[in-house]
A = this chain, B = another copy of it.
Amino acid sequence: MQEHTRLPIGLFDSGMGGLTVLNAIAQRLPWEDLLYLGDTARLPYGTKGRETIIRYTLLAAKKLVERGMKMLVVACNTATANALPVLRKELSPLPVVGVVEPGAQAAVTVSRNGHILVIATEATIKSAVYEQAIVRLRPSALCSAKACTLFVAMAEEGLMQGHIVEAMAHYYLDDLLCKGPDEKPDTMILGCTHFPLLKQTLAEVVGPDVTVVDPASNVALAVHRELEVMGLLGDTSLKGKYHFMTTDNQERFARTGSLFLGRELRPEEVELVDL
């Protein structure tokens, strides 16, 4: 087991969105090495069918297993929603952490009226995993859900604020939020790792009565706890190293990835891999 603690934490996402989760983990566990794989050749997963998502996710996990890791973080809501049970079974005994359960926990903790709105990709909404996780944690909770497909492309385009994003947010959310105080959700989960880039605009559009929850920091907490429980925590006196892999177009991964990472990522830092 001693040897294992030195291995990196593996992170997987369909593209660059998972870098928002990587950021949160890096902030909480700055001594851990992180190995990130974005399957950009086949993104987005959010509009694909369940079987296809499972197949692609397993291929990506296999690549990370080959490289060596002590834990897998599925830093993609769509992959978590559709493939987490299969991944846990296939990779056992390697610990696998998804983003949905921590996101649901965070929302249930902050919600006062128990009415929670989930915004996510089409495939995540269709899976209904957020609703299931929320009701498991708080059986009286009421859930609304909305697929906000275009937010993914907007975040990747770097269109994070301004009147177009606002108009798009109103287009998706007005029906759900223009309700009386009893029916209106007081919490909104950003159920796609792309959406934190739009967080400021979304928070303005939904107003101060609605708490916007980004699952990422709670995912980092879950990772921290799981590493402790498994005795896999790294040497806290070190400084973690990061390695990035993409299945397509390093230049685009670096350019768009910089938006998600909040610092410049150069194409030379990104390794091109085939699954």
CA distance A199 to B239 in the complex (A): 53
CA distance A152 to B47 in the complex (A): 13
CA distance A95 to B66 in the complex (A): 43
Segment touching B, from A4-12, A132-140, A164-172, A227-235: A164-172
**B157 in contact with A249 (CB, 8 Å):** no
Nearest CB in chain B to that of A247: its residue: B52
CA distance A239 to B66 in the complex (A): 54
CA distance A164 to B32 in the complex (A): 43
**Chain A 17-44 per-residue mask, 1 if CB under 8 angstroms from chain B, else 0:** 0000000000000000000000011100
Instruction: Determine the chain B residues whose CB is within 8 A of the CB of A47 once the complex forms.
Output: 40, 156, 249, 252
Whole-angstrom distance between the Cβ of A274 and the nearest chain B Cβ: 10
Instruction: Determine the chain B residues whose CB is within 8 A of the CB of A171 once the complex forms.
Output: 159, 164
Whole-angstrom distance between the Cβ of A55 and the nearest chain B Cβ: 9
**A248 in contact with B52 (CB, 8 Å):** yes
A149 at interface by CB-CB < 8 Å: yes
Assembly of this chain: how many copies? 2
CA distance A52 to B272 in the complex (A): 11
CA distance A29 to B47 in the complex (A): 33
A163 at interface by CB-CB < 8 Å: yes
Nearest CB in chain B to that of A148: its residue: B157
A128 at interface by CB-CB < 8 Å: no
CA distance A152 to B153 in the complex (A): 9
**Chain A 189-219 per-residue mask, 1 if CB under 8 angstroms from chain B, else 0:** 0000000000000000000000000000000
Closest 3 CB pairs of A and B: A49-B249, A153-B153, A52-B248
- The contact sample of 28 A-B pairs, CB cut-off 8 A, is A40-B47, A40-B48, A41-B42, A41-B48, A47-B249, A47-B252, A48-B248, A48-B249, A49-B249, A49-B251, A49-B252, A52-B247, A52-B248, A52-B249, A149-B153, A149-B156, A149-B157, A150-B150, A150-B153, A150-B154, A150-B157, A150-B159, A152-B153, A153-B153, A159-B171, A164-B167, A164-B168, A164-B171
Where the two chains meet, the residues of A that have a C-beta atom closer than 8 Å to any C-beta of B are 40-42, 47-49, 52, 122, 149-150, 152-154, 156-157, 159, 163-164, 167-168, 171, 247-249, 251-252
